[in-house]
Amino acid sequence: MAVASLQHGALRAEQGFDPTEIAREYHLLRSTISANLRQDLLQGSPEELFRAMTLINAVVDAAIAQCFKSYVQERLQELEQLQSQLALTNQELTRLARANQDNLSILTHELKTPLNSIIGYSELFLRQQRQAQTRDTVPSLEHIERVLRNGRQLLRLINDALELSRCEAGRMPLQLVSTEVGSVIRSVVEVIQPLADARGLTLVVDYNLAPSQVVVDPLRLQQILINLASNAVRYTLTGNITIQARTLDQEKWEVAVIDTGIGIAPEEQTHIFDPFVQLRPPDSFSNSDSTGLGLAIVARLVKLMQGEIQLASQVGTGSTFTVILPIEVKEYQPSASVK
């Protein structure tokens, strides 16, 4: 049982379970064991019943300890990896700040909240360690979870900022290949479907009228559609998210992401593709994972692939983001320098 509990803890850490969810699993296990043995236990003497329950509790408690031991090890390993990633991006972040002074104050503000949380919970966790408190408790694990959650948000913001910087600096080469449109859309659906299901939204896909093959950078096209579709899910409480592609003529095709969400006010539509711009959603919406850079990156990637992006939206009805691209994106040819 010890080996199984260790494996269980590592698996739950990999699956992203919270410590409280694991604790509930073992509470259910304890209740199930007691229920299955109830008739046999009641036939024994009070002394036998007491010994049996003591043994059951000891076994389950030992399993919990082993599970949390491997769970904590996995989480600490993830935390170490996260710290390494943050350290590796620090140098490029410094270069970004120097090269883009206009957004420096905004970026600093956005980084401050998750960074302060990471520092605060890290100090708390280390203080508990120095005081020789038990690591394998639910509160301790929740502190680690908060550190990881805020660290992931910080890393996501940094990576988005670096991506935007590379786009604007023209240092993002395209890998243009003949690509099946349906294959890209299906890969997007694999990412978005769980998000839509979690909110009770219907995901509709229609690419029957799309060209079968186009020349694009498939990874960048996928990135564009995932950004648009995840945004649609984020700002839609009920209804549908539709991904629809079709051929326009011999030279162009389009793919649209349509939602039945909160919509975008006219005064916000003019700035929606600017960096660090975020809608103010109603209280019923959660937007804590947004960096405000997704649509800015989308707009620059579309431009990089010689396309255009259009927005049609009405407050309370929904939004449609339409990306129009060439059937064949051409390699960028820099003009020859004058000698």
pLDDT tens track for 90-141: 666 666 555 555 555 555 556 656 666 666 666 666 566 555 554 556 666 6
- Give the residue among 309, 314, 313 at the shortest CA–CA distance from 295: 309
pLDDT tens track for 57-73: 888 888 888 887 888 88
- Residues 6 or more apart in contact with residue 165 via CB below 8 angstroms: 96, 99, 100
Report in angstroms the alpha-carbon separations of 287 from 148, 180, 189, 231, 279.
18, 33, 21, 10, 9
pTM of the model: 0.55
Q: What are phi and psi of 33, to 5 degrees?
A: -60, -45
Residues 192 and 228 sit within 8 Å (Cβ to Cβ): no
Residues 160 and 127 sit within 8 Å (Cβ to Cβ): no
pLDDT tens track for 257-289: 999 999 998 888 888 887 655 665 544 455 455
pLDDT tens track for 215-228: 999 988 998 999 89
Between 33 and 237, the higher pLDDT residue: 237
Euclidean distance between CA atoms 81 and 39, whole angstroms: 50
Cα–chain center distance at 95:
26
Euclidean distance between CA atoms 64 and 18, whole angstroms: 14
Sheet holding 252-259, edge to edge: 202-209, 240-247, 252-259, 318-326, 308-314
Euclidean distance between CA atoms 310 and 187, whole angstroms: 23
Between 330 and 88, the higher pLDDT residue: 330
Question: Does the structure show a pLDDT above 50 at 155?
Answer: yes
Between 185 and 44, the higher pLDDT residue: 185
Residues 218 and 187 sit within 8 Å (Cβ to Cβ): no
Q: What are phi and psi of 144, to 5 degrees?
A: -60, -40
Band the pLDDT of 338: cuts 50, 70, 90: very low
